[in-house]
């Protein structure tokens, strides 16, 4: 059973039905249980503004669908009949996340509580190999992860594949291009061995941003998540939802003109951020160009840690340019926070000072706290976790996606 469709549609058009009402109330109750468990039915009723009778009916349905479990009665110590504690189920519904990186494959299963229960990672050089070959290996990894999850009593309800490439907004399972893998126009269904378990692709940076958001305790509802792989990109989360722009190209931070008359860029313009903060540019500036694009991040971190002056200078130059670009982002979007993810997370120690300095000097007319800029807490695990959590969040937003008991 697969959870289909993008959840959370606001659907400002289209009529409302009683099913929609039920759907929303199921989600509201489930959300209350998730946020404040353990909680009794009466607690939920008082908190969300429904009556106990309605909550009873809703909870019964959620239990039937396997989303909520009822714990034993808890002796509260207060007078009155004790409520029966409700909590998110640690069994049954689950989300499978998959990941194809340049140098590895990953799979992970999370339960409804957001807890990772299965975690697999295999080092593998994927650049340049045929897509079908790589996808067959991912499918095998996925099957193994699902089997392991099944042994834990989990049933995978949705599958998302994180890829380092462009995934168009529309459904269809298409990876438009993934330069680092050498993919172009790959449709997952064409290469997946089992038609019932074809995952839905999504850009890894977007998933990393969402994972960071979902993982953070207090929610920064609107933030910019910068991440660097070979290119430099940003995921924009606005009001808690990923913003893709009119055509899906939002967050193209790498080609912001930071020094309009600077060095020429492959895109045809001059002085793009990538010419200062892109992987190739930093390596070149650090005098490490000959090492090629292996694990550039580890190399840079090692040199920086050793105090290698050209590397430190290159990272400071990158940080300044990044600060300039982020100044534009802050001026335009006014986010709650800025997160450095991807490769930047591992280099944050050397980048942050210059980024902070640039922001402090240039963002002066509005409240801006230096703490609003922070490295991603999840680092490299973000995309895979985000892929798995996507299904969980969809279920939380619409529990009727789960099969009825």
Partner DNA sequence: GGTGTTTGCAATGGCTCTTAACAAACTAGT
Partner DNA sequence: ACTAGTTTGTTAAGAGCCATTGCAAACACC
- In the complex, the residues that contact a second copy under the rule CB under 8 A are 8, 10, 12-18, 20-21, 24-25, 28, 31, 48-50, 220-222, 234, 236, 238, 243-253, 255-260, 267-269, 324-325, 327-329, 331-336, 361-362, 364-367
The sign of the torsion formed by the CA atoms of 59, 61, 63, 65 equals negative
Q: Give the list of residues 6+ apart from residue 370 with CB closer than 8 angstroms, or none.
A: 356, 359, 360
Q: Indicate the SS3 state at residue 202.
A: strand
Closer residue to DNA (CB): 21 or 298: 21
Query: In Å, what is the CA distance from 339 to each residue of 228, 355, 374?
Result: 12, 12, 5
Closer residue to DNA (CB): 41 or 255: 41
Neighbours of 303 (CB within 10 A): 20
Closer residue to DNA (CB): 29 or 322: 29
Least distance (Å) between residue 44 CB and DNA: 8
Least distance (Å) between residue 61 CB and DNA: 8
Q: Compute CA 391 distance to the chain's CA centroid, rounded to the nearest angstrom.
A: 11
Least distance (Å) between residue 91 CB and a second copy: 27
98 membership: H or E segment, kind and range: strand 92-100
CA distance 118 to 103: 20
Tell me which of DNA, a second copy, none is bound by residue 56, counting a contact when its beta carbon lies within the kind-specific cut-off of 5 to 8 angstroms: DNA
Bridge-based pairing of strands 174-178 and 183-187 is antiparallel
105 φ, ψ (degrees, to nearest 5): -120, 150
Query: In Å, what is the CA distance from 284 to each residue of 248, 318, 338, 387?
Result: 31, 12, 27, 33
Closer residue to a second copy (CB): 19 or 290: 19
Tell me which of DNA, a second copy, none is bound by residue 151, counting a contact when its beta carbon lies within the kind-specific cut-off of 5 to 8 angstroms: none
Least distance (Å) between residue 113 CB and a second copy: 20
CA distance 278 to 254: 8
Tell me which of a second copy, DNA, none is bound by residue 120, counting a contact when its beta carbon lies within the kind-specific cut-off of 5 to 8 angstroms: none
Tell me which of a second copy, DNA, none is bound by residue 197, counting a contact when its beta carbon lies within the kind-specific cut-off of 5 to 8 angstroms: none
Tell me which of DNA, a second copy, none is bound by residue 250, counting a contact when its beta carbon lies within the kind-specific cut-off of 5 to 8 angstroms: a second copy
Least distance (Å) between residue 85 CB and DNA: 8
Closer residue to DNA (CB): 86 or 352: 86
**Interacting residues with DNA (CB under 7 A):** 15-19, 21-22, 25, 40-43, 49-54, 56-60, 73, 75, 77-84
Least distance (Å) between residue 128 CB and a second copy: 23
Tell me which of a second copy, DNA, none is bound by residue 73, counting a contact when its beta carbon lies within the kind-specific cut-off of 5 to 8 angstroms: DNA
Neighbouring-strand partners of residue 235: 225
Least distance (Å) between residue 186 CB and a second copy: 20
Neighbours of 391 (CB within 10 A): 28
Neighbours of 231 (CB within 10 A): 19
């Amino acid at each position: 059973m697969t959870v289909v469709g993008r959840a959370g549609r606001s659907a400002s058009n289209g009529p409302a039905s009683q099913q929609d009402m039920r759907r929303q109330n199921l989600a509201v109750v489930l959300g209350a249980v998730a946020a404040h468990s353990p909680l009794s039915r009466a607690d939920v009723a008082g908190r969300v503004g429904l009556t106990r009778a309605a909550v009873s009916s809703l909870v019964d349905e959620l239990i039937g669908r396997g989303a909520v479990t009822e714990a034993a009665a808890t002796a509260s110590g207060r007078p009155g009949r004790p409520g029966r504690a409700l909590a998110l189920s640690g069994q049954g519904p689950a989300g499978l996340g998959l990941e194809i990186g340049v140098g590895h494959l990953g799979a992970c299963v999370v339960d409804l509580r957001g807890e990772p229960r299965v975690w697999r990672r295999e080092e593998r050089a994927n650049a340049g190999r045929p897509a079908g070959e790589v996808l067959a290996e991912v499918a095998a990894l996925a099957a193994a992860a699902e089997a392991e999850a099944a042994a834990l009593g989990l049933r995978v309800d949705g599958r998302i594949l994180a890829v380092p490439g462009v995934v168009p907004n529309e459904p269809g399972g298409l990876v438009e291009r993934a330069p680092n893998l050498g993919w172009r126009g790959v449709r997952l269904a064409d290469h997946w061995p089992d038609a019932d378990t074809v995952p839905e692709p999504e850009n890894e940076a977007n998933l990393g941003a969402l994972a960071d958001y979902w993982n953070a305790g207090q929610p920064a509802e609107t933030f910019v998540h910068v991440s660097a792989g070979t290119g430099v990109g940003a995921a924009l989360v606005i009001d808690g939802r990923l913003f893709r722009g009119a055509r899906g190209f939002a967050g193209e931070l790498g080609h912001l003109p930071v020094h309009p008359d600077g060095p020429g860029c492959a895109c045809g313009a001059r002085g793009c951020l990538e010419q200062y903060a892109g992987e190739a540019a930093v390596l070149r500036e650090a005098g490490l160009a000959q090492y090629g694009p292996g694990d550039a991040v580890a190399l840079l971190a090692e040199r920086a840690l050793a105090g290698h002056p050209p590397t430190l200078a290159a990272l400071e130059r990158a940080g300044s340019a990044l600060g300039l670009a982020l100044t534009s982002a802050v001026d335009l979007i006014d986010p709650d926070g800025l997160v450095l993810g991807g490769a930047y997370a591992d280099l944050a120690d050397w980048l942050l000072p210059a980024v902070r300095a640039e922001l402090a000097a240039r963002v002066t007319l509005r409240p801006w706290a230096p703490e609003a800029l922070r490295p991603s807490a999840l680092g490299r695990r973000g995309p895979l976790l985000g892929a798995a959590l996507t299904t969980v969040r969809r279920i939380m937003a619409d529990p009727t996606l789960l099969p009825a008991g």
